[in-house]
Amino acid sequence: MTVDFRTEPAKYKHWKVSFDGPVATLAMDVREDGGLRPGYELKLNSYDLGVDIELYDAIQRLRFEHPEVGAVVLTSGKERIFCAGANIRMLNQSSHGWKVNFCKFTNETRNAIEEATAESRQSYLCAVNGPSAGGGYEMALATDWIILADDGSTTVALPEVPLPAVLPGTGGLTRLVDKRKVRRDRADFFSTLEEGIKGQRAVEWRLVDEVVPRSKLEETVKRRAAEHAARSDRPTGARGIALTPLARAIEGDRITYGTITCAVDRGRAVAEITVKGPGAPPPATLEATHAAGADFWPLALARELDDLILHLRANEEEIGIWVFRTEGSADLVEAHDRALQEHAADWLVREIRLYLKRTFKRLDVSSRSIFTLVEPGSCFAGTLLELALAADRSYMLDGALEGDTRKPAAVRLTGMNFGPYPMVNGLTRLASRSLDEPARADDLKRRIGVDLDAPAAAAAGLVTFTPDDIDWEDEVRVGIEARAAFSPDALTGMEASLRFGGPETLESKIFSRLSAWQNWIFQRPNAVGDKGALRVYGTGRRSEFDRRRV
């Protein structure tokens, strides 16, 4: 079954969106028979990938289509249940790769909620109006303010360790101690407690921010949301732009968008991805940029690259190497980058920059090898240069191939390479490449707008190898073939370890732990063996564990 990440509110099965002036409400009302795959029911507001795909779409639309919204309330549309977390039956019947990809996408969606609060100034609050367990509580943890109903039965819980013998895979443990600063011993007790914690103790332990009687929950949530919305700088009188349906064609092994094409070579396990630069200068005014809407090239690029990454991750598990090329005018890419810089204070331009940042981060945390090829006719400038800087390895042709009359390949830095697109470690990709020389990235600011040929790009640390026309085809071919011959498991671990040097952040911890601990636990017999906890959960049988702590 092919998973399609494209959706829109008219197609939602599981979420209801409503508006009250500057406050929006996202109510989770999961259809039990609306699972993405057959074989399980989504009881108790439990969720699968399909539920999360809708949530991700709703978050995007709230940012772009509703600039007037300064606060979003996340709650349940069902009586007496908030969310039971990820559906256990779904996890039980899913492959290992599916489970890990599911956790990764869910993490990225939670991070988008946090970024909306911190950088889009669209603050998220959570009204927990019934028991909230596992991934349900993790959804609440992604918001900025959690209000818990005090009714004797509403609790928050992370019961993954005592019940299915896994971990809160969407950053639950990390958010407990890093974000909410829950004391370690309390977090330890809480994470081994099946029934969870309720009432005033949940506030005292920092598990929630506020507890109120159920009779006053609606009133309190409304007041808090209004307070958060009043602190937002989002323009209440502005018109949003429509995120129109994303055009994509899949014909055999070829995937085509407006600005991106991808050819899948199954024999080599390679996806050849070509990104087209803009075909015209950016709109002359900010008003015209707004009028262009979803057709504005940087936004179209973000949406299409985002969808392609998700499509390849979910539907092409054995395509382990993504090779990026670009084609077009570096001058036009730079012109669009100038527009993104000059209008950075505008709400829409801010959202486009943040969307590009999130998309490049999604590329960074994908468990695929990333190569870039910089050739004559390419336009690796500014925003598109981030693709080369994100690569595990980049090849840049020194000179031109025989018979090619185009100018030799060049790369070009713009101001967008120096801050707007940080990685999950909080550093720019330029800074992450020169951890031994922190000043190098600042020194490169003097080269903004300058075309750097292969020797200059290599000297600046922007590319890996610069073969000439004699060696180009062989070096690229051997590099890709050698990569394809290695263990995918070893490559995933190696790449995740090497991509995020430098400081740790909440995001880098979450994704490194997902790649290591959760990845490992999801394969162990204690969780997924015939008598593992995830397999026997809900059957009435007891799990049997290998007691060795290795």
**pLDDT for res 317:** 94
Q: Using CA atoms, how far apart are residues 498 and 104, in angstroms rounded to an integer?
A: 18
Q: Using CA atoms, how far apart are residues 348 and 461, in angstroms rounded to an integer?
A: 33
C-alpha pair distances (Å), 291 with each of 276, 295, 354: 22, 9, 19
**pLDDT for res 478:** 97
- DSSP per position, 110-148: HHHHHHHHHTS--EEEEEE-S-EETHHHHHHHTSSEEEE
The three-class DSSP label of residue 104 is: helix
Dihedral sign from CA coordinates of 25, 29, 35, 41: positive
**172 is written with which tokens?**
């639950």
- DSSP per position, 27-70: EE---TT--SSSS---GGG-B-HHHHHHHHHHHHHHHHH-TT--
pTM, to two decimals: 0.96
**Residues lower than pLDDT 70 in the chain:** none
* Cα dihedral value 515, 517, 519, 522, nearest 10: -160
First to last CA, the chain: 37
| Each residue's pLDDT tens digit, 144-189 | 999 999 999 999 999 999 999 998 988 999 999 999 999 999 999 9
Query: Which residues share a beta bridge with 262?
Result: 255, 273
In angstroms, how far is CA 463 from the centroid of its own chain? 25
Residues with Cβ within 8 Å of residue 424, at least 6 apart in sequence: 361, 364, 365, 500, 505, 507, 508, 511
Query: Which residues share a beta bridge with 83?
Result: 132
The three-class DSSP label of residue 223 is: helix
Q: Residue 302 is which amino acid?
A: A
Q: What is the per-residue burial (b if ≥16 Cβ within 10 Å, else e) of 28-63?
A: bebeeeebbeeebebebbbbbbbbbbbbbbbbbbbb
Q: Using CA atoms, how far apart are residues 17 and 25, in angstroms rounded to an integer?
A: 6
Cβ proximity of 451 and 410 under 8 Å: yes
Domains belonging to the chain, first-starting first, are 10-230 (3.90.226.10), 249-496 (3.90.226.10)
**pLDDT for res 538:** 84
Question: 369: part of which helix (H) or strand (E)?
Answer: strand 369-374
Q: Is 533 exposed, middle or buried (0-12, 13-18, 19+ CB in 10 A)?
A: buried
Query: Which residues share a beta bridge with 325?
Result: 274
Q: Using CA atoms, how far apart are residues 320 and 367, in angstroms rounded to an integer?
A: 8
The three-class DSSP label of residue 81 is: coil
Q: Using CA atoms, how far apart are residues 363 and 360, in angstroms rounded to an integer?
A: 5
Which phi and psi (to 5°) does residue 23 adopt? -120, 130
Cβ proximity of 104 and 125 under 8 Å: no
Q: Closest Cα to residue 5, out of 326, 359, 309, 395?
A: 309
* Cα dihedral value 437, 439, 443, 449, nearest 10: 80
| Secondary structure (H, E, C), 147-207 | EEEECCCCCEECCCCCCCCCCCCCCHHHHHHHHCCCCHHHHHHHCCCCCCECHHHHHHCCC
Residue 173: count of CB within 10 angstroms of its CB: 23
Question: What is the DSSP-derived secondary structure letter of residue 502?
Answer: S
Q: What angle do CA 102, 202, 79 make, to 5 degrees?
A: 65
Residues with Cβ within 8 Å of residue 1, at least 6 apart in sequence: 37
Longest pairwise C-alpha distance within the chain: 78
